[in-house]
Structure 1
Amino acid sequence: MGFMDNLKAKLSPAKDKVSDLAQQHGDKIDQGLDKAARTVDAKTKGKYSDKIVSGTQKAKGAVDKLAQKDGGGTPPTPGSTPPPTS
Structure 2
Amino acid sequence: MGFLDQLKAKLAPAKDKVSDLAQQHGDKIDQGLDKAAKVVDEKTKGKYSDKIQSGTGKAKEAVDRLAGTDEGKDAGGGATPPSPPSPPPAS
Same-fold call, TM > 0.5? yes
Please report how far the alpha carbon of residue 74 of structure 1 lies from its aligned counterpart in structure 2 after TM superposition: 2.2
User: In structure 1, what is the equivalent of residue 60 of structure 2?
Assistant: 60
Question: For the residues of structure 2 that align with 1:54 and 1:78, how far apart are their CA atoms?
Answer: 20
Aligned residues: percent identity?
A: 77
Q: Decide which of 70, 73, 77 is 1:74's aligned counterpart.
A: 70
- Per the normalisation by structure 2, the TM-score is 0.77
Unaligned 5+ segments in structure 2 are: 77-91
Question: For the residues of structure 2 that align with 1:43 and 1:77, how far apart are their CA atoms?
Answer: 34
Question: For the residues of structure 2 that align with 1:46 and 1:32, how far apart are their CA atoms?
Answer: 19
Q: Show the 5 A alignment for 1:1-86.
A: 1-68=1-68, 74=70, 77=74
Question: For the residues of structure 2 that align with 1:56 and 1:77, how far apart are their CA atoms?
Answer: 19
Please report how far the alpha carbon of residue 21 of structure 1 lies from its aligned counterpart in structure 2 after TM superposition: 0.1
1:1-54 per-position Cα deviation (integer Å, ceiling 9, x unaligned): 000000000000000000000000000000000000000000000000000000
Question: For the residues of structure 1 that align with 2:15 and 2:30, how far apart are their CA atoms?
Answer: 19
Amino acid at match of 1:61: E
Aligned length in residues: 75
Q: CA RMSD in A?
A: 1.9
Amino acid at match of 1:12: A
- Per the normalisation by structure 1, the TM-score is 0.81
Amino acid at match of 2:16: D
